[in-house]
Structure 1
Amino acid sequence: MSDIINFGSLQLRFLHSKEDTAGSVDIFEMTLQPNARMPIPHYHDRWDETIYGLGGISTWTIDGQEIEVRPGESVFIKRGVVHGFTNRSAGPATCLCILSPGVLGPQYFKEMAALLSAGAPPDPAKMKETMLRYGLVPAPPA
């Protein structure tokens, strides 16, 4: 499987999903262009997430703490912990994302890409509804 999903300054390439792992894991490669960020910090209570740096430097804010992930480094995000990410560097940053168990799949990202590429400013209510439907809970503003 190699689904590639582009939206905004993010590109995801699914390597395995809940469909082909019987729900064991979702594994995808994510490339963040400079200044790319997760627009809405969130948490999920149905899966854990491991991020492994492949190239460049991405900055992950996990439970309020900023952690730079460089090639060969990793972070573990336990379910229920608020997190987000950004790429503050001048070049792309790529990481491998592993969700366990696999309950998300590429469809969530395809739906979000459609919302973000509709030509008009994204509708926050539709984004929140999509996130909640897939088990991502937007964090309240700080």
Structure 2
Amino acid sequence: MPTAIRFAGLELRFLQDRHGTNDSLDVFTTTAQPGAGMPIPHYHEGWDETVYGLSGTTTWTVDRRDVDVGVGASIFIPRGVVHGFANRTADAATFLSILTPGVLGPEYFQETADLVNSGHADPGAMRALMLRHGLVPVTAG
């Protein structure tokens, strides 16, 4: 069973990653507890993302538009498009993410978990971590 990476109401489990797919893809599930999500809108310069709903509903903000992804629904997020997600419901929600090509791997999420769970996740540290792994944070405005 894949190792769980947990932080801020999220649990990720990698099923495939760049290391075992010759950088072809990353595949992982995310379970988001009520109120959890990606609080920093961002985009990727080096990969596309496809999200498929497995249980519950998450709301994805993609290019300033909200899209609900429930069971059996999917959304494609091309590289360069600003996005984020939140679980705005009272129930946990799980989705599958497929990143192509697979250049992110679990390292970004493990480093995020280490930072957040240590209590030192200030905005500057999070921004530096994101940029180091190819995620470009976008401030509101």
Q: Tell whether 2:107 aligns with 1:134.
A: no
Tell me the equivalent position of 2:109.
109
Q: Tell whether 2:130 aligns with 1:124.
A: no
Q: Which runs of 5+ in 1 are unaligned?
A: none
TM-score normalised over the length of structure 2: 0.97
CA distance in 1, matches of 2:37, 2:30: 12
* Runs of 4+ off more than 6 Å: none
For residue 3 of structure 1, report the CA deviation from its aligned partner.
Answer: 2.6
CA distance in 2, matches of 1:136, 1:61: 16
TM-score normalised over the length of structure 1: 0.96
1:23-62 to structure 2, matched below 5 A, reads: 23-62=23-62
Deviations 1:1-57 (A, max 9, x none): 713100110000000000000000000000000001212000001000000000000
Tell me the equivalent position of 1:89.
89
CA distance in 2, matches of 1:21, 1:64: 32
Deviations 1:42-78 (A, max 9, x none): 0001000000000000000000000000100000000
Deviations 1:99-137 (A, max 9, x none): 0000000010000011101135x2111111110000000
Tell me the equivalent position of 2:73.
73
CA distance in 1, matches of 2:119, 2:134: 26
Tell me the equivalent position of 2:99.
99
Identity over the aligned pairs, expressed in percent?
55
CA distance in 1, matches of 2:53, 2:119: 32
Report the count of equivalent residues.
141
Tell whether the 8 Å contact from 1:3 to 1:106 is kept in structure 2 after alignment.
Answer: no
